Amino acid sequence: MVYSCSTETIAKVVQEYEGVKRKHAIGEMVKGLRIDAPHVVASFGEDAAVIEHNGEALLLAADGIWSKLMEADPYWAGYCSVLVNIHDIAAMGGRPIAMVDVFSMSENTTQELVVKGMHDASAQFGVPIVGGHLHPDAPYSVIDVSILGSAKLASVIYSNTAQTGDRVVAAIDLTGRVHPSCALNWDSVSMKSAATVRAQISLLEQIGDAHLVTAGKDISNPGIIGTLGMLLEVSGKGAEIDLSLIPKPDLAANNMTFEQWVKMYPGMGFVFTAKEMHVPELIKRFAAVGMTARAIGTVDDTRKLRIIYDNHETQVFDFFQNGIMHLFYGDMPCQQR
């Protein structure tokens, strides 16, 4: 049994989840900021911007930590500020190089805990923090991090290149725990060795070099279904996925519901689209680094994301009507290249 409620309930849980709804404002910002530049291969809608430089790809990304997490656990907020940025580079098939941060703090205890979390994650993943900016007298505490990575230009994994007929593949490290400070964080990283997490991150670069996927994103705040929706939105595609195939830990043993799991930010998790012939190789490679990969659905031309379970089907998103990021110009997704 996957869950005790209907596909309609799961669809509503995803649609109304704050981690999804808070992405809605992105489109309006893009319209106000975007300009064309010949050396920018891809930008908005991707996990990292792709900048052509001397025949190679520089990858540039930034992420801020939800204020709710900072309030709940400053150490974990600092750790995650590094983790999510490294994921953004890995999801593009890149190699993380270095990070800078902007830290606004309201009191010293928060600073010490946040910095300790950032330091520990930086050391574990082997990606240095090389500078930044400090606001020592802010009325609030916020941490934002920007990261630089690199990749072969021909090996970059984009979000907007899913193709009709591709299989949807979810890859997640299921060995972990619900983080004690945040019920929607699955911590599968902090207890792992540096060798393990670095192998998981470097695998994404190998997958890009081998051209085993057609598109990909790291599973972020919107959860696995919401993240897949973001990928499909910018690709101008739709998909149908089977809830029973989504990789998941032992829910009962972790005192967790399936509704909670589909909203969860996994410590190490990605969603891809890939040709059917490459799925077995993806499953094999992820298993070798301790991650569970599984084909959970198929991409189509509908521009609608639907979920099925036990012969019941429900639409979650119609990207003609209710996109997640609203990154469409007219009838076409926000694409470059």
Residues 101 and 168 in one domain: no
Residues 208 and 307 in one domain: yes
Asked whether the predicted pLDDT for residue 326 surpasses 70, the reply is: no
Could you tell me the pLDDT band of residue 255, with boundaries at 50, 70 and 90? very high
Q: For 271-306, how does the pLDDT look when each residue is reduced to its tens digit (9 = 90+)?
A: 999 999 999 999 999 999 999 999 999 999 999 999
Domain ranges, residue 15: 7-24+158-333
User: Within a 10 A sphere around the Cβ of 137, how many other Cβ atoms?
Assistant: 8
pLDDT value at residue 1 = 45
Residue 41 in domain: no
Residue 36 in domain: no
Q: Cα–Cα distance between 298 and 276 in angstroms, integer?
A: 10
Tell how strand 265-266 and strand 185-187 pair up: parallel
CATH of the domain at 55: 3.30.1330.10
Asked whether the predicted pLDDT for residue 333 surpasses 50, the reply is: no
Residues 52 and 171 in one domain: no
CATH of the domain at 278: 3.90.650.10
**Is 283 within 8 Å of 293 (Cβ atoms)?**
yes
Q: Can you tell me whether residue 202 is helix, strand or coil?
A: helix
pLDDT value at residue 337 = 44
Tell how strand 167-172 and strand 269-274 pair up: antiparallel
Could you tell me the pLDDT band of residue 30, with boundaries at 50, 70 and 90? low
- Structural domains of the chain, count: 2
pLDDT value at residue 325 = 59
Give 28's Cβ-side CA count (13 Å radius): 4
Task: Choose among 61, 56, 130: nearest CA to 99.
Answer: 130
pLDDT value at residue 42 = 73
Residue 4 or residue 56, greater confidence = 56
pLDDT value at residue 104 = 86
Could you tell me the pLDDT band of residue 334, with boundaries at 50, 70 and 90? very low
Residue 14 in domain: yes
What pTM was estimated for this model as a whole? Answer: 0.88
Residues 179 and 128 in one domain: no
Residues 237 and 167 in one domain: yes
Residues 175 and 290 in one domain: yes
Asked whether the predicted pLDDT for residue 135 surpasses 90, the reply is: no
Mean pLDDT of all residues in the chain? 87
Residue 32 in domain: no
Sort 291 into a burial class: Cβ within 10 Å, 0-12 / 13-18 / 19+.
buried
Cα Rg of the chain (Å, integer): 19
Task: Choose among 260, 225, 221: nearest CA to 240.
Answer: 225
Residues 136 and 173 in one domain: no
Q: Percent of the chain having pLDDT more than 90?
A: 64
Residue 144 in domain: yes
Task: Choose among 2, 3, 11: nearest CA to 226.
Answer: 11
Residues 61 and 172 in one domain: no
Could you tell me the pLDDT band of residue 101, with boundaries at 50, 70 and 90? very high
Asked whether the predicted pLDDT for residue 105 surpasses 50, the reply is: yes
Asked whether the predicted pLDDT for residue 156 surpasses 50, the reply is: yes
Residue 2 in domain: no
In this prediction, residues 237-253 reach a mean pLDDT of 95
pLDDT value at residue 21 = 47
Boundary-marking domain end, from 118, 153, 188: 153
In this prediction, residues 105-124 reach a mean pLDDT of 89
In this prediction, residues 34-48 reach a mean pLDDT of 73
Residues 71 and 206 in one domain: no
Residue 181 in domain: yes
Q: Cα–Cα distance between 176 and 163 in angstroms, integer?
A: 33
Residues 312 and 182 in one domain: yes
Q: For 48-68, how does the pLDDT look when each residue is reduced to its tens digit (9 = 90+)?
A: 999 999 989 999 999 888 777
Could you tell me the pLDDT band of residue 194, with boundaries at 50, 70 and 90? very high
Give the DSSP letter of residue 172.
E
Q: Cα–Cα distance between 53 and 225 in angstroms, integer?
A: 34
Residues 127 and 234 in one domain: no
Residue 297 in domain: yes
Beta bridge partners of 306: 240, 315
Residues 181 and 284 in one domain: yes
pLDDT value at residue 321 = 77
pLDDT value at residue 44 = 72
